[in-house]
Chain A
């Protein structure tokens, strides 16, 4: 990370009466980073974004953009621009006028303004729709107008409030790819608010997961997914098999546990870990368990019986009962080897990699 972060959030609290919307949030976001705030609704992610934009004011704490504190600076004087969830396209103006809206204040000469509007519309591939009104545009097109209208201002930071949530699945996936390449092209710091974990994983350089006004973990998508620090984070980011394990040894950074069927393993200790009655919660993602076919062997195996099967097209979820484990294991198998044909009731052997196990705080 460069020396001066583009955004510094320092010990920010936000109270609405006795309700704490933001609880001691501190965060650094680097210049040029694609950063996501991920969490369920009501977790404070939107409040944090709106505080950066200037629409909400922190009760205590400081927000600095490019080294400058922006507390007390109104939204119209902040070097940020926002893409609103509803897109907020001005209905009385056409696409070009929408994009030129903010430029009018800059009093550019007409040719320069025209050039910047056209460049911004080209950037989002809307060059041909300049004269359309908002109600003549599709959802995806409105989203592009909102992007162009913000980017044309050349902000230091672009804020995106659930920008893809109103689009259908296929369009959303297309826009994700486009958003990512757009960010690479313009090199501006993007901060995305989303409740969609796949969106955050696919787009971000780093993700902050938020629950109840607090930041639970900040890490790269891969780390957040593979090494979540708490059970709540693991759960929010997709399926995970949880089990209780007895702690046999503990250092400052490592944890040795005796698991029911995964043997004795030593794992990284998550930040803020507290042992409960000498046990820890251990997790393994369903796709890190693999069915062993016929005579195939693996270094680490466990045996069980298929008790249920869920078909999802490209994958199948097998629910495997393993003797000695409290909960049956969920196993995610791609369908190219015939996992969708394993009859319920059959015995199966599963392979795993002990490195895939993670210790979690409750």
Chain B
């Protein structure tokens, strides 16, 4: 028996896939299940359905404060990473220059560096400089961390951009500024939105840098970490975690949909060029 490409099919493959998926997603699935459980402990059997843990989130000022911090950091990081990413991605997709590969590699490196080492180094420098830890320091740290994500999305978005679109616009009498507004921006807009969403999501879930650099202003993951010491707070954390997972999945799905549609459009446009 062989598959479409001559790879022998194995009876074990479905089992492997099942175990793989269970390992990956079952724990995350437990989170929402227990968040609706009418008991303070996370044990089976379930004690009954309740939404009181979710309701309690709304009355927890410390949590709301952390959520506000996360929003501030997330939005700032998303905008900064995307702006910096636009500059770098445009340079890399448009021009050929010395050290291009090195520059790309250095920008992408934070993806592969041990984050905790990175966080400790940043903390040391910031303390040496005498800068007080705050949301600003979290933002700075996370921008470096989110830039590779923003870059990957933007490079794929700009890579399909045909230079002659801008030339065609100039040729038809439009000014350079008008060309940017009427052609460049609309064509790359999906990549920008996608980059903003991805950066925001990465920032929202990021813990290590936030933990080291946030001082007295915790973001949501740091807040959750703090709550884990108290058994009684666990169901509330589960509810909060479920909400965050939902938001992350929604944002990432949205960004992927936008990215794919844009890619499809650009590819169709550039098909003849190839």
Would you give the shortest CB distance from B186 to chain A, in whole angstroms? 5
> With contacts A76-B175, A91-B266, A135-B264 known, is A86 near B272, CB below 8 A?
yes
Q: How far is the CA of A75 from the CA of B268 in the complex (A)?
A: 27
B172 interface residue per 8 A CB criterion = yes
Are the C-beta atoms of B269 and A135 separated by less than 8 Å? yes
Q: How far is the CA of A54 from the CA of B170 in the complex (A)?
A: 10
A92 interface residue per 8 A CB criterion = yes
Closest chain B residue to A106, Cβ basis: B173
Residues of B in contact with A, size category: 20 to 34
User: How many A-B Cβ pairs are below 8 Å?
Assistant: 84
A198 interface residue per 8 A CB criterion = no
Are the C-beta atoms of A135 and B168 separated by less than 8 Å? no
Are the C-beta atoms of B269 and A76 separated by less than 8 Å? no
Q: Which residues of A contact B162 (CB under 8 A)?
A: 86, 88
Are the C-beta atoms of B171 and A81 separated by less than 8 Å? yes
A300 interface residue per 8 A CB criterion = no
Are the C-beta atoms of A82 and B171 separated by less than 8 Å? yes
Q: How far is the CA of A53 from the CA of B265 in the complex (A)?
A: 28
Per-residue CB contact flags for chain B residues 65-108 toward chain A (1 = under 8 Å, else 0) read 00000000000000000000000000000000000000000000
A317 interface residue per 8 A CB criterion = no
**Residues of A within 8 A of B (CB-CB), count:** 32
Are the C-beta atoms of B269 and A89 separated by less than 8 Å? yes
Per-residue CB contact flags for chain B residues 146-189 toward chain A (1 = under 8 Å, else 0) read 00000000000000001011011111111110100011001100
Report 30 cross-chain contacts, Cβ distance below 8 Å, ordered by A residue.
A53-B171, A75-B170, A76-B171, A76-B172, A76-B174, A77-B173, A80-B171, A81-B171, A81-B172, A85-B164, A85-B273, A86-B164, A87-B272, A88-B167, A88-B168, A91-B265, A101-B169, A101-B172, A102-B172, A102-B174, A105-B172, A105-B173, A105-B174, A105-B178, A106-B173, A133-B265, A134-B269, A139-B272, A150-B171, A153-B172
Interface residues, chain B, CB within 8 Å of chain A? 162, 164-165, 167-176, 178, 182-183, 186-187, 264-270, 272-273
Q: Please name the 10 residue pairs, one residue from A and one from B, whose CB atoms are nearest each other, closest first.
A: A135-B268, A102-B172, A88-B168, A91-B269, A88-B164, A86-B273, A75-B170, A84-B164, A92-B186, A166-B272
Interface residues, chain A, CB within 8 Å of chain B? 53-55, 74-77, 80-82, 84-92, 101-102, 105-106, 133-135, 139, 142, 149-150, 153, 166
